[in-house]
Amino acid sequence: MKKIRYWLLALSLVLGLSGCYKEGTLHASLENEKVYSEYDLPQGNHDYDKDILEMFKKYNTLFLYKYNPRDIYYNTDEYVGGTYFPDKDSTAAGLFDVPSDEAWVGKQIKLLQELWLDYYPNEFLRQGLPLRVFLVDSLYSAKNGIGSPVKLLNNNYLVRRGVDYILVTYGSSRIDEMTKADKYEFKRMLHRVFLDHLDIPVTPEFAAIGNYAIFSNVNNKPYIYRYGFINWNNSSTPQRDWFSYIDAIVDHSYEEWISDGPSGFLHPSKDTQGKIREKYNLIIEYFKTNYQIDLQKISNDLSSYGE
């Protein structure tokens, strides 16, 4: 997986981007052999700080509710943060974060464990989680214009990933107001972002099933299911096709996959040649055999959504 690569990148950013990162002592964990810039644990003296420390020991990842915004807004050398100018009541487009309310971080951690982390073996998480998981209340983007960022709201994020981090939301009293639909949407985004972050390479067996030449002619679009593809816009290469299946599996329950509905990719009306079933089975078996992960269980399991 990518932790070693991210470690090297994070270290180079700390040492090389002096305009973006504070100079100072790097904190290394001898046990885990990793450099984490200025962050140390525990960040406070709440009961949940002990849980976060245990999570670091278990997963080798920092779950941070105190952070420097530059670590969210710098994507390598690109700054993606927005700016509000109170004197002019104007906004420069970009991202805006609202930090977690510390009174609610304990519940936020429990929710992440329940909806996300519990679905994967500890060793898989240790190898696959990014260096840092930022815990925030909300993250949104705003457009350029006159007015505050909230008035110029462009997009709300539930989960977002950067070069060496994943950012998760709901660190406030909003967590007690989550509906069943809210939990479903948050859960599917947690898994999609995490699995995309892992960048697991497509297998030769999967790649051999599809004829990717069909994407050179838009007239083939109505027939994508016949060729074993489920997403015209995201399947033009074997790797993109692989990701489109993984995303769809954690997005849709098996009942949806076999239904005669828009997500019924395994229904005979769509999978007329059996190629979708062949690809689906390959991915399910690959994750079970190599990682001991039941990928379909993520979307099948409704018990954690609440009422």
Domain tally for the chain? 2
Does residue 187 share a domain with residue 75?
A: yes
Does residue 173 share a domain with residue 230?
A: no
Give Cα separations from 203 to 126, 193, 245, 250 (angstroms). 23, 20, 13, 19
Does residue 153 share a domain with residue 60?
A: yes
pLDDT surpasses 70 at 307: no
Kindly state whether residue 33 falls inside one of the protein's structural domains: no
Kindly state whether residue 120 falls inside one of the protein's structural domains: yes
Domain boundary among 176, 198, 220: 198
Does residue 214 share a domain with residue 88?
A: no
The domain of 161 spans 47-198
Rounded Cα gap, residues 223 and 57, in angstroms: 50
Q: Let me know the angle formed at the C-alpha of 60 by 57 and 64, rounded to the nearest 5 degrees.
A: 90
Kindly state whether residue 2 falls inside one of the protein's structural domains: no
Domain boundary among 151, 178, 198: 198
Does residue 183 share a domain with residue 251?
A: no
pLDDT tens column, 66-78 = 999 989 998 777 8
Using left for φ > 0, alpha for ψ between -120 and 50, and beta otherwise, residue 62 falls in: beta
Percent of the chain with pLDDT over 70: 86
Least trusted range by pLDDT, from 25-29, 58-62, 172-176: 25-29
Q: What is the DSSP letter of 267?
A: S
Does residue 224 share a domain with residue 188?
A: no
Kindly state whether residue 75 falls inside one of the protein's structural domains: yes
Kindly state whether residue 1 falls inside one of the protein's structural domains: no
Rounded Cα gap, residues 132 and 129, in angstroms: 8
How many CB atoms lie under 10 A from the CB of residue 133?
24
Does residue 162 share a domain with residue 67?
A: yes
User: What is the per-residue pLDDT for 204?
Assistant: 97
Does residue 209 share a domain with residue 179?
A: no
Question: pLDDT-based confidence at 137, cuts 50/70/90?
Answer: very high
Task: Return the amino acid letter for 30.
Answer: L
Give Cα separations from 281 to 159, 193, 289, 295 (angstroms). 28, 22, 12, 11
Kindly state whether residue 24 falls inside one of the protein's structural domains: no
> Would you say 140 and 81 are in contact if contact means Cβ atoms under 8 Å apart?
no
pLDDT top residue among 306 and 60: 60
- CA 68 remoteness from chain centre: 20
Q: What is the value of pTM for the model shown?
A: 0.85
Does residue 224 share a domain with residue 158?
A: no
Q: Which residues, at least 6 apart from 110, have a Cβ–Cβ distance to it below 8 Å? A: none
Kindly state whether residue 26 falls inside one of the protein's structural domains: no
